[in-house]
A and B are shown apart, each in its own frame.
Chain A
Amino acid sequence: DVKVTQSSRYLVKRTGEKVFLECVQDMDHENMFWYRQDPGLGLRLIYFSYDVKMKEKGDIPEGYSVSREKKERFSLILESASTNQTSMYLCASRTSLGTASYEQYFGPGTRLTVT
């Protein structure tokens, strides 16, 4: 079974703090993704990485950065947290091989509250 883990389930941070969210997958997947999910808005892609040290902006990258130094690990960084970044953050991964490559597997999520 694919396993995707995230560093925290719940996190409370103050406005202006630098926040690190970490995601680890154990299936040797090439591609990894960071989403945020807000009520009524569905899943919105922040950044994705198609390989080590490679990253691409998604639909809402402003205020975020990412790091992928190792294949199994993808980090999301909030440079200076703001209250409008309060959300559920979901990491996902997938293989890049064959038609199954479009299927994404999610971690348990991190509910971040910025006060």
Chain B
Amino acid sequence: QKEVEQNSGPLSVPEGAIASLNCTYSDRGSQSFFWYRQYSGKSPELIMSIYSNGDKEDGRFTAQLNKASQYVSLLIRDSQPSDSATYLCAVKGDSNYQLIWGAGTKLIIKP
């Protein structure tokens, strides 16, 4: 059973600090990785995708991938209260269609 693991949180971070969210996966052959943000009562929205080892930056967000250690991280710089949400990690499995989802980490940014 291929798995994606996330700490459920909540992770509490002061406003302006860096929030660090982590995700580990079991399938060493995984190639594609995604971070989704989900506000309470809303549907998930894609914020980052990463396919190669290393860092990928988009504004205040940085995704980091380490395939040897089988983890992917999301860093949020200059955290804002509007970043408070649940962050879902998803990994492409063997299937061409399906993603394997983590249960999500709840992030709270305190003013």
Give the B-binding residues of A (Cβ under 8 A).
31, 40-43, 45, 48, 50, 56, 58, 90, 96, 99, 101-109
Contacts and interface: CB of A to CB of B under 8 A. Distances in A.
Interface in B17-72: 32, 34, 42-46, 49, 51
B42 A109 contact: yes
A87 B45 CA distance: 19
B97 A90 contact: no
Contact of B98 (A41, A58, A96): A58
A104 B49 CA distance: 11
B110 to A, nearest CB: 23
B92 interface: yes
Contact of A90 (B8, B44, B49, B99): B44
A103 B49 contact: yes
B63 to A, nearest CB: 13
Nearest to A31: B97
B88 A104 contact: no
A50 to B, nearest CB: 6
Contacts of A96: 96
Contacts of A90: 43-44
5 contacts: A42-B88, A43-B88, A58-B98, A103-B49, A108-B43
Contact of B42 (A41, A45, A108): A108
B103 A102 contact: no
Contacts of A109: 42-43
B43 A40 contact: no
A104 B43 contact: no
